[in-house]
A and B are shown apart, each in its own frame.
Chain A
Amino acid sequence: MLIDVHAHFLHERTPRKDWRERNASRLRAGDRVGITWHVASVLGTWGLRSPIYFPSPADVTLANEVQRGIQAEHPHRVRGYIVVNPNFTEHAIAEIELGRSAGMVGIKLAASRRADDTLLDPVCERAAAHGLPVLQHIWQHRRREYQGQEASDAVELVALARRHPSVAFILAHIGGGGDWLHSLRAVRHVPNVFVDLSGSGVDGGMLEACLVAAGVERLLWGCDLTIDTGWAKLRYLESILSSADLELVRAGNARRIFPDGAFPEA
């Protein structure tokens, strides 16, 4: 089994006219690579009606509906994260309850509010109650503010994770830009933070550093926007890990932190 813990789908109410081709390409490349499950989220209208990282409640609702629709269309290879904007607490909680009842398997926090902000606590309390992991968008070592997002880094995620020790947090795309060494140093002794290996970065030494910092039990395989780099990292891991450890990264660790039954065997 191979689980991509960080996937995205597009839809017709986004700026991307090629949304069908991109979605199809993800599934086609996933088949080529051997991805069994794409665990995906839809980030609002991807900027069409509200900003990607600050989606309006209406766009959040639409995105989660779209994600559930894709999951229903591909029940044997797609699972969904519930996207929330924690600035709208009641709406976020309602989306979590709706999504969980509809079989969604995790919560996606993008960059609408800093990860260490107390507004994220109600979201994390619902994650704990339902046993859902939280995928937090991360800028590896945020040195300043970036336009279009209220980005968080690993230190801020760790602060949240320490407040909610029963929740599994996924530090998004270690290869997705920024100083990943900073992130790995931050998460080293925080057992409920898992490192998602996705992102376009394929730096030599990065995977070894992930293993040292988090151990093989806290690494999760993923792709995000580049399946080629995900496949490359998987190939590299095949050359440095035992088959048992590789299986943890491919699927075992994900199966441990997502709800029971989220990824049935074929």
Chain B
Amino acid sequence: MRIDTTAFVGAFPWRRVPGTSPRSLLAAMDRVAIDEAWVSHLPSFWWRDPMEGNAWLFELAAAEPRFRPIPAIHPGLPAWQRELDQAIERGAPAVRADPTWYALDPAGAEMVSLAHDCAAAGTPLVMAVRLEDGRQRHPHDRAEELPASAVRALVRSDPSLRLLVTHAERSFIEEVHFGSTPAEAQRIWWDVTWVWGPPEDHLGMLMETIGPSRFVFGTGQPLRIPDNSIARLDLLDLAPGDRAAIDAENARMLGASGDSA
């Protein structure tokens, strides 16, 4: 069983990317043996109202049982709480907010408010540090990367909030993990999309220092080829139980709140 917590559908505005359709995503999942994908709507990162992509996402997930929707919530827009309620009703395993793309203070009042409501609902909040390598971004693609300080601030803002942070590199993860209390760190999950394997062995180091319980499988596809996250896990000598936890079990437990909806 393998769950991709970091998959996208829809066009990318800054270059031509193949495989952005739902059908292409399913084909890619079949090719690399991914059973389930938590799917976010890529174009709405840049929409003034990113929540306008949610209805399509719900329809998509309703039609394809291997997709689970990760609707976007913009806590700076009116009535965003209704979108969160709908996400819970529709069984979303988590919701996402990408404050720097929305031009929000990533640890400001709007995000803290969203954090409280997610915590109260038991719904994890997903945030991406980046989508592309900063050195290759289009000159007009200027949203700041999510800062580690914001993750620390948000996890401290509510003792029940659970966060899934994607596309973070080793130093970011270490800064947040060891900049948090053990209780806080237990409420943060990381995907493996951006953590280097050998010979630098960043992921192997994190397995030793932080442990596999904090990591979930994610690919960033189709912006990144899904083979990468599988290859770097294959290069680790993980015990079968640890590999299964990263491949699916940790995500399954994280997203379990949506199962009962």
Contacts and interface: CB of A to CB of B under 8 A. Distances in A.
Interface of A: 21-23, 25-26, 28-29, 32-33, 139-140, 177-181, 200-205, 207-208, 225-229, 231-233, 235-236, 239
Contacts of B221: 204
A32 B223 CA distance: 26
B235 A202 contact: no
A27 to B, nearest CB: 9
B227 A181 contact: no
Interface string B228-243: 1011101100000000
A205 B201 CA distance: 26
A204 B19 contact: yes
Ranked nearest first, the 6 interchain pairs of A and B with the lowest CB-CB distance are A228-B197, A232-B228, A228-B232, A29-B198, A26-B199, A177-B135
A204 B17 contact: yes
Contacts of B132: 203
Contacts, number: 101
A177 B16 contact: no
24 contacts: A25-B198, A139-B135, A140-B135, A140-B136, A177-B133, A179-B136, A180-B136, A200-B133, A202-B228, A203-B17, A204-B17, A205-B15, A205-B222, A207-B225, A226-B196, A226-B200, A227-B199, A228-B198, A228-B203, A228-B228, A229-B232, A232-B225, A232-B228, A235-B231
Contact of B196 (A181, A200, A231): A200
B199 A236 contact: no
A116 B98 CA distance: 42
B23 interface: no
B231 A203 contact: no
B123 to A, nearest CB: 29
Given A33-B235, A229-B197, 15 more contacts: A25-B198, A28-B198, A29-B197, A177-B133, A177-B135, A180-B136, A202-B224, A205-B16, A205-B17, A228-B203, A228-B228, A231-B234, A232-B230, A232-B231, A235-B231
B13 interface: no
Contacts of A23: 199
B82 interface: no
B139 to A, nearest CB: 8
A31 B136 CA distance: 31
A25 B201 CA distance: 8
A204 B234 CA distance: 20
A231 B200 contact: no
B228 A208 contact: no
A19 B234 CA distance: 23
- Identify the interface centre among B18, B136, B230: most chain A CB within 10 Å of its CB: B136
Contacts of B201: 21-22, 25
B225 A201 contact: no
B231 A178 contact: no
Contacts of B231: 228-229, 231-232, 235
B197 A236 contact: no
Contacts of B133: 177, 200-201
A25 B199 contact: yes
Contacts of B235: 29, 32-33, 227-228, 231
A186 to B, nearest CB: 15
B31 interface: yes
Contacts of A180: 136
Residue in B31, B203, B234 with the greatest tally of chain A CB atoms within 10 Å: B234
A32 B224 CA distance: 23
Nearest to A180: B136
Contact of A228 (B16, B136, B196): B196
B32 to A, nearest CB: 8
Nearest to B28: A204
Contacts of A204: 17-19, 221-225
A236 B227 contact: yes
A123 to B, nearest CB: 27
Nearest to A181: B15
A208 B18 CA distance: 9
B145 to A, nearest CB: 15
Contact of A178 (B136, B196, B223, B232): B136
A187 to B, nearest CB: 17
Nearest to A21: B201
B155 to A, nearest CB: 27
Contacts of A235: 227, 230-231
Nearest to B138: A179
A227 B204 CA distance: 13
Nearest to B132: A203
Nearest to A22: B199
Contacts of B196: 200, 225-226, 228
Given A28-B198, A228-B228, A232-B227, A201 B31 contact: no
